[in-house]
Chains A and B, each alone.
Chain A
Amino acid sequence: MPLDGLGYLKILAPPEKVLRWIEGKLNLLGRLPHYVSIDQKTYGRYGVLPTTSGPSLPGAEASLLLLRRDPRILKAPPYVSLLLILIGLTSLFLLPLDYYSRHTYISENALLPGQVHTYFGGSEQNIFNAYKHEVQAVAGKEQHEISNKLEEIFNSAGLKAARQKYQFEAAGNRYTGENVYSILHAPRGDATEAIVLIAAWTNMDGELNQSGCALVLTLARYFKRWSLWSKDIIILITSDSKAGPQAWADAYHNEHSVPAVEPLPMKSGALQGVVVVDNALNHRFESLHIVYDGINGQLPNLDLFNTATAIASGQMGISVVLQRMWKHGDSYRERLQTMLRGMVSQGLGHASGPHSCFIPYHVDAITLQAVGDGWQDEMAMGRCVESTFRSLNNLLEKFHQSFFFYLLMQANRFVSIGTYLPSAMLVAVNFSIMAIALWIRSGRSTVPTIGSKKKNEEKEPEMEVIRQDGMVAIAPKHRLVIVERELFLPITLVVASHFLGVIPLYIFNHASQSAFSRTFIIFAQANMLLPSFLAALLSYQSPLSTQQRLLLQCFSLLLLGMFLATLATLNFSLAFLIGLLAAPLSFVGQPYSTTSYENPASGGKVRKLLMTIVLQLLSPPAVMLAACKAWDVRVEDVLVEAAFGWTAHGLWTQVVVWCIWWPAWTVGSVVCSPLL
């Protein structure tokens, strides 16, 4: 015993006599037996809790028990849910404030962005101009002529070139092309790591990327002369911005679909970073637009973005813009707009540039796009790329230090996941809370209660006297009875509705482009009538009981909440947007008044009608139509893009829409349908 040595401290203890006196004065022994009264009959397995036998708390325990069953508590969940949604929404709008967002910073010390002197310039300018002429000369020609020309340029720079043909088919369209690439072997490396420099022949808007391609070719020739590279450099020219990079990234990781996509004849080590150069301008540019969204809302490591930003704005003095916010005055409004644009882009999860295809392979990638009319020339852009590559060259291990989950609101301000995740989680939790509330209510018997005054006058509801440890409370009996729940039908219906989502998913991923607009119109119309049809079908044999309706909604909301909470960890923006659009589903169904134990079919017709209209306006096809109107794009194009994303990029935004949101919407609409 280590405390033995402290025995001398006993002198500090009060004498026994004093203790006895205090004990007697406070009547401790007299109180003790009451404190815990062990139930003799059950040999102490169950005891009964504190009975301070004073007059102070008569029935406090029992009334606490009853509080759980108080109708006011049962009425609370919708308000709590609403509050959570509002808090979630508000906290999102607070994010752009200085207090919540942070300045970006370089987390990985090895990067040392902007610490090297860049030498790209001078006579390279002439080479660039020559290459630009070559590019312009073959523009618009057959693919093999372009490839031949590119290969020739690579060879003339002393680099061995390789080609890869690919073909994707989606929505009846065929996407074909050929990638040409070359590997610059590191003089100081062992070919276990590589960084990639890409230019797509046509950029995301379909314009010829003339300066970008010429710049990349010039840089290839320039990099070849340096002996300081410790990682292989892969220079890749893809023939388009969406299919080509995907085919190359797939084939590099042996995940390509044979024979539509050819395997790569040459490979290097693990990819550490990707920089895409996009400069379709034929004049000097003003600022660099950094695009960073990946497929399915995945983002590259923030360090890569910060490196590029630090080099461009700090070293080269080129302003950096993001999310197509060409003018950014650092006001709250502009920050918010940038963030919201980023969220929409992330939520859609589509490819926003050639770099997007690399991010699912855990390769951090960004696109540098030259925009505006200013005084920066291509050489400055080249120096940016050079400096970025020097930083990437310094990396000792894969990007891991900084954030993978962030929302940017300006080139040098961001919020990290810990700050923004709660808002999506609160929206998701609101569904879970409603599910729990509905579950509890479904366990109550449906005997009419205080609310129905007429019956109340005729006969008092049956009361039950609760006696507990000498305390008495009276409660209406039906509030204490938990009825058995019939779970089978609601569970089957909810699960079936989620599997039903496979049908639209299949249709919209496999129909051909020409049929898209017609299919969509037909589907949207059928979708409007679907809830009424299902409701009629369900009540055809015998109408659903109140309990079954409650449980139907309960399970649907439970699943929705769970899916959205999970999704929020993978793609925050999508979870948040769908959570908001589905928020009214929490409030459909029974009115939450004290009369709720009554048959809900009798009242609230107006409310039901109102809810139906709201839900119809927020149905997935309606939202899609509205969004297309707002952004002025054709529905058909969106569907084609989505179908291509599904086949080529492995996009699962549509899975979320059709197998999570749409089923929840259907069940919610059925529950509030007047026909049920």
Chain B
Amino acid sequence: MVLDRRKIGLFGAAAVLRLVLFVAFPSLPKLLAGRVEISTPITSFKRLQEGLFLYTHNVSPYDGGIFHQAPLLLPLFGLIPTAAFAPLTSLLYILLDLLSAEALAQIADSGESRQTRLYKSPRRDLSWDGATVGAAYLFNPLTIAACLGRPTSLFTNCALLYAIAKACERRAFMAMVALGLASYLSLYPALFLPPLIILCFDARYKTGNQVPSVLSFALTHTIAFLGSIACFLLESFLLTGGSWEFISSTYGVHLLLPDLTPNVGLWWYFFIEMFDSFREFFLGVFWLHLGGYVGGLCVRLRTQPLFVITTLLGLCAIFKPYPSISDTALYLSLLPCYRHIFPLMRYTFFALATLLYASLLGPAFYYLWIYAGSGNANFFYAITLVWSLGLSVIVSDSLFAVLRDEWEVERPEMKGKDVRQI
């Protein structure tokens, strides 16, 4: 296997940068681990440590209602000797970031974003190679902050990226297992099953040999996906001493939102303000809203399943129950694969400036609310709204750009002309 020297340099630099930050500023990881923008109740590293403590002392980690993460993470972190826990976990998270970047590089190099089975972008010459896309992920300040804050959502992100990478590589079974792992860890990646199956199907179709029927393909892969989840759950069942208790305190928390710690998303404030009698109804509405995008996007963007996944990632980073900036980082890391549609996007500068504004004002307002006591919850919530607005502008703008790209294949004479949607 030929190693790309440039890639090694970039990845090495990213690893060194993280190491330096971990070593030179020992208080930084702790500070970031406590930030609500990075650590949510279902991904927080502090809560993981709490669960780990209970687990190693032979108490059920779900006692006490603090730990809401998947049980399989516990033996993984339990393997790390307590004497060198901090440095080794930092190494683990650096490795995790590099693996994610590698998966991204594979996705970018597969060219799936520019040329699918059913669609060839007229702009496919314009692209970034895998190393650049990987570096864009590794040097994104959001990624770095998330890596230092060590939320467990990075495991989900890595698994999800591997699922996509394997799907692009035509290794459908592996993709399903990886997606199973991601869904097992964080539940919401299960939404990506339909587009990922389409992606696998297209990849299989490309190879040409014995194309299966759509239905049987979808069915077998769904079974593989469910099977892998079942395996993980069974393992967890055995690990936690033969009790299914963990289901309610992990997935139950994902679904029912009992913990209303502030985060960058939109749910917490709504559910704080809501009367209890409406809670179930609106939980249903919110989840339905999130799930509703899957079908629509899969139908409309049938020809570009990878873009369906990208857009869904963006939507999840906005509308998920407990989003954090690591989800945003994941979405923004997949966008560079669509380098060719950048010239068609219209509001990049404004949207990115909005995100920058929000990322400065968010901590400032949180400070005013929590520490200085001179602000209140509305300050912070207003900024998370702006943050979500900026993200949704990017999502819709990139969607527009891809549709426009498709449209120009159908109507080449309209190239470079202004259009408006009605």
Contact = CB atoms under 8 A, between A and B. Distances in A.
B246 interface: no
A62 to B, nearest CB: 9
Contact of A49 (B349, B356, B417, B422): B422
A541 interface: no
Interface stretch (B57-65, B270-278, B371-379): B371-379
Contacts of A42: 407, 410-411
B353 A566 contact: no
B418 A468 contact: yes
B421 A432 contact: no
A562 B356 contact: yes
Interface stretch (B5-13, B111-119, B211-219, B358-366): B358-366
A566 B361 contact: yes
The 10 closest A-B pairs by CB, nearest first: A404-B374, A47-B422, A566-B360, A362-B373, A566-B364, A439-B349, A566-B361, A562-B360, A562-B357, A569-B364
B407 A404 contact: no
Majority DSSP secondary structure for residues of B touching A = helix
Interface string B336-372: 0000000100000110010011001100110110011
A562 B390 CA distance: 15
B76 interface: no
Nearest to B420: A49
A569 B361 contact: yes
Listed residue (A42, A298, A400, A405) with the most chain B CB atoms within 10 angstroms of its CB: A42
Given A46-B407, A49-B420, A400-B373, A570 B357 contact: no
A42 B373 CA distance: 56
A116 interface: no
A436 interface: yes
A569 B360 CA distance: 11
18 contacts: A45-B407, A46-B419, A46-B421, A49-B422, A65-B418, A404-B374, A432-B353, A436-B350, A466-B417, A468-B418, A558-B353, A558-B356, A559-B356, A562-B353, A563-B360, A569-B361, A569-B365, A570-B364
A482 B364 contact: no
Nearest to A439: B349
B364 A362 contact: no
B355 to A, nearest CB: 11
Nearest to B350: A436
Given A42-B411, A562-B357, A570-B364, A362 B372 contact: yes
B343 to A, nearest CB: 7
Contacts of A435: 353
Interface of B: 343, 349-350, 353, 356-357, 360-361, 364-365, 367-368, 371-374, 403, 407, 410-411, 416-422
A405 B374 CA distance: 8
Interface string A284-305: 0000000000000010000000
A248 to B, nearest CB: 20
Contacts, number: 64
Interface in A314-331: none
Majority DSSP secondary structure for residues of A touching B = mixed
A47 B371 CA distance: 52
Given A49-B420, A404-B374, A436-B349, A565 B368 contact: no
A17 interface: no
A36 interface: yes
B133 to A, nearest CB: 15
Contact of A570 (B368, B416, B420): B368
A10 interface: no
Nearest to A569: B364
Contacts of A559: 356
Contacts of B417: 466, 468
A363 B371 CA distance: 11
Listed residue (A46, A466, A480, A482) with the most chain B CB atoms within 10 angstroms of its CB: A46
A65 B416 CA distance: 14
A468 B407 CA distance: 17
Nearest to B371: A362
B360 A482 contact: no
Interface in A352-370: 362
A405 B349 CA distance: 33
A480 B349 CA distance: 18
A41 interface: yes
A482 B343 contact: yes
A398 B373 CA distance: 10
Listed residue (A298, A400, A563, A570) with the most chain B CB atoms within 10 angstroms of its CB: A570
A39 to B, nearest CB: 9
A362 to B, nearest CB: 5
A442 B218 CA distance: 49
Contacts of A565: 357, 360-361
Contacts of B421: 46-47
Interface string A558-578: 110011011001100000000
Nearest to A36: B422
Given A48-B422, A569-B365, 7 more contacts: A65-B418, A298-B374, A436-B350, A466-B417, A468-B417, A563-B360, A565-B360
A152 to B, nearest CB: 39
A42 B419 CA distance: 13
Nearest to B141: A495
Nearest to B349: A439
A400 B369 CA distance: 12
B268 to A, nearest CB: 22
A460 interface: no
Contacts of A480: 416
A362 B365 CA distance: 15
A16 interface: no
Interface string A353-395: 0000000001000000000000000000000000000000000
B407 A298 contact: no
A570 B356 CA distance: 17
Nearest to A38: B422
A416 to B, nearest CB: 12
A484 B364 contact: no
A563 B343 CA distance: 29
Contacts of A468: 417-418
Nearest to B364: A566
Contacts of A48: 420, 422
B37 to A, nearest CB: 15
B373 to A, nearest CB: 5
B372 A404 contact: yes
Nearest to B342: A484
Nearest to B422: A47
Nearest to B421: A46
A177 B283 CA distance: 59
A41 B411 contact: yes
Contacts of B422: 36, 46-49
Listed residue (B353, B356, B361) with the most chain A CB atoms within 10 angstroms of its CB: B353
A206 to B, nearest CB: 31
A466 B418 CA distance: 10
B410 to A, nearest CB: 7
Nearest to B362: A566
B261 to A, nearest CB: 21
A492 B360 CA distance: 19
Contacts of B349: 436, 439
B370 to A, nearest CB: 10
Contacts of B365: 569
Contacts of B356: 558-559, 562
A398 B374 CA distance: 12
Nearest to B363: A566
A566 B357 CA distance: 8
A366 B349 CA distance: 46
A240 B407 CA distance: 75
A563 B353 CA distance: 12
B388 to A, nearest CB: 18
